[in-house]
Amino acid sequence: MENENGNRHEIGNGKVDGRMTGNGLMKIQTNGKGNKKNGNGICHDDSSLPVRAQTIDELHSLQKKRSAPTTPSKGFQLNSTFATMSEEDRQRQQLQSISVKGQQQLNEEVSTREIDGLTTSSTQQQDPLFSISASLASSARETGPKVVRGDPSRAPKHVPHHPVIPTISVSDSSLKFTHVFYNLSPAELYEQAIKHEKGSFITSTGALATLSGAKTGRAPRDKRVVRDATTDSELWWGKGSPNIEMDEHTFMVNRERAVDYLNSLDKVFVNDQFLNWDPENRIKVRIVSARAYHSLFMHNMCIRPTPEELENFGTPDFTIYNAGQFPCNRYTHYMTSSTSIDLNLARREMVILGTQYAGEMKKGLFSVMHYLMPKRQILSLHSGCNMGKNGDVALFFGLSGTGKTTLSTDHNRYLIGDDEHCWSDNGVSNIEGGCYAKTIDLSREKEPDIWNAIKFGTVLENVVFDEHNRDVDFTDKSVTENTRAAYPIEYIPNAKIPCVGPQPKNVILLACDAFGVLPPVSRLNLAQTMYHFISGYTALVAGTVDGVKEPTATFSACFGAAFIMMHPTKYAAMLADKMHKYGATGWLVNTGWSGGRYGVGSRIKLQYTRKIIDAIHSGSLLNANYKKTEVFGLEIPSEIEGVPSDILDPINAWPDKDAYKETLVKLGGLFRSNFEVFTDYQIGEDNKLTEEIAAAGPIF
Ligand SMILES: Nc1ncnc2c1ncn2[C@@H]1O[C@H](COP(=O)(O)OP(=O)(O)OP(=O)(O)O)[C@@H](O)[C@H]1O
Ligand SMILES: O=C([O-])CC(=O)C(=O)O
Ligand SMILES: [Ca+2]
Ligand SMILES: [Mn+2]
């Protein structure tokens, strides 16, 4: 049965169904039941959407749509259609169509770098395999499995360099070899994915299309953080916090489960990479995973080491064990579904069980940065960032789908990064080495740079393509609405590499307001900027089926409550301090509705939002004529070049003025009740700023 989170709970011989099951087990409750909304109409950030299929075969059949009837059907003429044929049958037939000789050649060509003479040339410390073996060690055994580099389909020619010393106390599993694919190239990862991972295909522009399985978004309710003596006092716990606690022992139980699963495989993928382009604050990460899809995703999203950097990589600062195909054991303490994403800051490790959505790795590491960086007086931010020709830097904050990637990718400016940044006294630095763009309804005309980045090397998640010519249909939501492209940042022509920049001049807060009452742009004073930063508002439309749905307000502190580790006011105080120190201007930009709420009005044209952003960058908007709006007290300009003036004040765009006022007050109420929990906290050195921030909210 699906619970409200869309998670499936499977146990032993049956499925958990209703209150009691055949074998007398209680239905598992996920924490925060009735997740979507709580009575006050506020829902909390959760990008996880239910997958639109009942079975794995159905999911796979969604991915490909049949060619137009005119397309000649090449290959096998079958009574069953391509889409309804099981993937296994299809592959069997494909294999039969390749001659035996051709198949042998294919096997020969698979490029794996088998290690020759590694034992003689490296000391154990420098040998990444030695270090990987230690990483994969069970908590009960001193050493890990016997790891060998290379493809298990090719038998090792040499005696393994870690000689097997048989003892009767070891189990079979520790006598087994695990082959390690260490920092493979995209081409090698393509081959692995296509050969071994169902649902992997090359699209007509050369991207690798993959399926992330049952989960097509993050599962924030399944995230756990180890609460020990240190984290107990350092982190934010309790109501509203994304840190749901677990104890050290339970973490080790899950770690063992993940490590045993990975060791049971013939091969694992290991990526050694970096986070943060600021050389003084670079973090070394290792990702151990079971899928080429995951390895290529992280290859694109993290910073790629040079061969020299890899040679001297040493011990990672943080390790992820991604055993996402394997569920957690729901009899384990703290588990509320078959998915668990577990963070242990003391051990510097993360374990993933029961979800293959690759964004968990990206955002899991982001959480780690939200812990490590503030300790160094560096502010970590869920924001995009770009820089003009004159060196003016802008940050773009916003929740998922509000436009960080779309608006920071600007043909006239240098892209520093699209999603995760650090702000220090040296300026800004991107945490990542790639971008993760939403691709639903992507168009070449509106977003040419993202469109062109979808080429060889790019991972395309959960998109639907033509079964024959492999053209992607970006409008197709059959698998999910959260279709994504992950590509290295250098695929954007004007990426700024290294991805660092000077102190920001503009701080742009993005909200996709499906209520349609926030102005397309307003200039904020520092207190208002802090108020909206702490509120972290957006309103998306839940569900796309069955006609018009109510917009749902989402408040996510710091525009990323799912990733922060300490209390939001810590980050807010740092932001206020930095904006004040470097004289940055705050702006609120509504990338959502105008002229009425969702269903009545329409989404503000991207073309207009771009003009608004241009006017912010150029400085011209700073000198416009402003007036103050009712309720939110926002300063709005009377005109902007290239934007129809009648949309700038939202009341003018609404035909029904009473409906506008009613909706405005309703939204104001939602802001007010959300902010209540923050009014008791002091932000900054004295109470002055705290009072100003509290007063910067809606008044009605
Ligand atoms: N006026 C507009 N401004 C910005 N984006 C718009 C606008 N109208 C439509 N869009 C669409 O909204 C989406 C914005 O998504 P985007 O990928 O930029 O989100 P994001 O903020 O980067 O989220 P995430 O953190 O999940 O990556 C894009 O698909 C874009 O085409
Ligand atoms: O993390 C993800 O899955 C996508 C993303 O960028 C976000 O939700 O902010
Ligand atoms: Ca993005
Ligand atoms: Mn994001």
| CA distances (Å), origin 186, targets 271, 402, 455 | 12, 30, 12
Catalytic residue chosen out of the listed positions 291, 382, 532, 567: 382
Q: Is 218 in the pocket of ligand 2 (CB under 6 A)?
A: yes
Q: Whose CA is nearest to atom 29 of ligand 1?
A: 438
Active-site residue, 408 included = no
Return the best residue to mutate from 362, 380, 420 for the ligand 2 pocket (most ligand atoms within 8 A of CB): 362
pLDDT for the residue 119: 26
In terms of phi and psi (left: phi > 0; alpha: psi -120 to 50; beta: otherwise), the region of 51 is beta
**For 387-525, where are the alpha helices, taking DSSP H only?**
404-408, 448-453
Q: What is the dihedral of CA 56, 58, 60, 65, to 10 degrees?
A: 180
Catalytic annotation present for 658:
no
Note whether 489 and 434 are within 8 A (CB): yes
**From 174, 400, 409, 529, active-site residue:** 400
Residue closest by Cα to atom 7 of ligand 2: 400
pLDDT value at residue 621? 98
Distance, CA 454 to ligand 4 centroid (Å)? 19
Per the listing, tokens 């997958």 go with 51
Instruction: Identify whether 419 is a catalytic site residue.
Output: yes
Distance 176 CA to ligand 4 centre (A): 39
Ligand 1 atom with the shortest distance to the CA of 438 = 17
Nearest CA to ligand 2 atom 3: 359
| Residues whose CB is less than 8 angstroms from the CB of residue 214 and which lie 6 or more positions away in sequence, other chains included | 8, 51, 59, 355, 356
Using CA atoms, how far residue 516 sits from 477, 561, 602, in Å, is: 24, 24, 8
- List, for residues 236-257, the tens digit of each pLDDT value: 999 889 999 999 999 999 999 9
Ligand 2 atom with minimal separation from the 362 CA: 1
Output phi, psi for 606, to 5 deg.
-55, -35
pLDDT score for 152: 78
Task: Report whether 31 contacts 238 (CB < 8 A).
Answer: no
Mean pLDDT for each 10-residue chunk of the chain (700 residues)? 34 34 38 40 50 81 72 33 40 31 32 28 56 79 70 60 47 75 97 97 98 95 97 94 96 96 94 98 98 98 97 96 96 94 98 98 98 98 98 97 97 97 98 97 97 98 98 96 97 98 98 97 97 96 56 94 96 96 98 95 97 98 96 98 98 97 98 92 83 94
Cα 78 to ligand 2 centroid, rounded to whole Å: 41
- For the question of residue 382 being annotated catalytic, the response is yes
pLDDT of residue 421: 98
Do residues 459 and 296 lie in contact, with contact meaning Cβ atoms separated by under 8 Å? Answer: yes
Pocket around ligand 1: residues whose beta carbon is below 6 Å from it? 398, 400-407, 419, 436-438, 440, 591, 603-604, 606, 609
Pocket of ligand 2 contains residue 436 by CB under 6 Å: yes
Q: What is the pLDDT of residue 68?
A: 57
Among 218, 257, 286, 597, the one annotated catalytic: 218
Annotated catalytic residue within 8, 64, 468, 484: 484
Assess whether 404 carries a catalytic annotation: yes
Give pLDDT, residue 50: 65
Which of 47, 367, 459, 556 to probe ligand 2 with, by most ligand atoms within 8 A of CB?
47
How large is the ipTM?
0.98
| Active site (annotated) includes residue 15 | no
Whether 392 is a known active-site residue: answer no
* Contacts with 4 (C-beta within 8 Å, 6 or more apart), sequence order: 30, 33, 34, 35, 36
Active site residue 400: yes
Chain segment 550-575, per-residue pLDDT in tens: 789 999 999 999 999 999 999 999 99
Give the pLDDT confidence score for residue 173 in this predicted structure. 65
